[in-house]
Amino acid sequence: MTPVIARTRDELADVRSQVAGTLALVPTMGALHEGHRSLIRQARKSADAVAVSIFVNPLQFGPGEDFDRYPRTFPADVEMCAAEGVDLVFAPSRDVMYPDEPQVTIKSGPMGEVVEGAARPGHFDGMLTVVLKLLNLVRPDVAIFGEKDAQQLAMIRRMVADLNVPVAIAAGPTVREPDGLALSSRNRYLSADERRTALALSRALHAGADAAAEGPGAVIAAASAVLDRAKAADPPLDLDYLVLVDPSTFTATTGDGPAVLAVAGRVGATHLIDNVHLQLGKEH
């Protein structure tokens, strides 16, 4: 089935008015991969109709980041959507999403200034602004985001709760390539040597998770040992952060219970993130 492609707000409103039953939205920046496919399949099980948005949002890219070279593969993206039975693809231009320079935007607050937000100032302000715009335009009953972007997911849930946005937020598990690398549209930037170094991210998370019963200190130590070797590799990993945080607030956690071990770094010019959910403490 070929999805209807809406590029303007009027086209979107017309298609949306014809949707019978519930609608699930999978927001993306395009360059769709198997991780997106898994979210689309989850959306299909969650609602009567499925919409996918494709928009590379300039507001969430900082100076010197990869907005201009971010992969844009629209024909292939539509093919995947068609193969998965997507009903609607919303693919607006920048002028459609931001007809004027935005004067009122979402402020991510303290939660957006830590971890990934500290490494990329303003990133979450731009992300939350475009997500809220998409939710208002598409008006889905449920929106589905990947757990690979764990801080993004937590912040969207917080925004929806704080602003009383009438939508359910669901999460899809991280999908990995056979060697363990978390699927990302940016993986295509990696050379073979850079990819070998990048595998340290998922290996560090596995090492940390294996030490979860021994407490936070052991988790960080085990993960750091893997990352230290990657920092000395050729090419090296330029580590941005390794943190153990509360999954709802992304503040540091030192006690027992649920936690997220999150890591990010650059290999060459490519920024990569990954995380794993774990339970701290022997009783877990």
- For tokens 């757990």, name the residue: 147
Annotated catalytic residue: which of 36, 206, 271, 284? 36
- For tokens 């991510």, name the residue: 108
3-state secondary structure of 135: helix
Q: How far is 28 from 55, CA to CA, in rounded Å? A: 7
Determine the distance from the C-alpha atom of residue 150 to the mean position of all C-alpha atoms in its chain, rounded to a whole number. 7
State the pairing for strand pair 88-90/49-54.
Answer: parallel
Which residues carry a binding-site annotation for ATP? 29-36, 146-149, 175, 183-186
Q: How far is 24 from 11, CA to CA, in rounded Å? A: 18
> Any bridge partners for residue 171, and if so which?
145
Backbone angles phi and psi of 216, in degrees to 5:
-60, -40
Which residues carry a binding-site annotation for beta-alanine? 60
Which residues carry a binding-site annotation? 29-36, 60, 146-149, 152, 175, 183-186
Active site residue 36: yes
Other beta carbons within 10 Å of 107: 9
Q: How far is 279 from 52, CA to CA, in rounded Å? A: 33
Determine the distance from the C-alpha atom of residue 119 to the mean position of all C-alpha atoms in its chain, rounded to a whole number. 16
3-state secondary structure of 261: strand
Maximal CA-CA distance, the chain: 57
Q: Which residues are designated catalytic?
A: 36
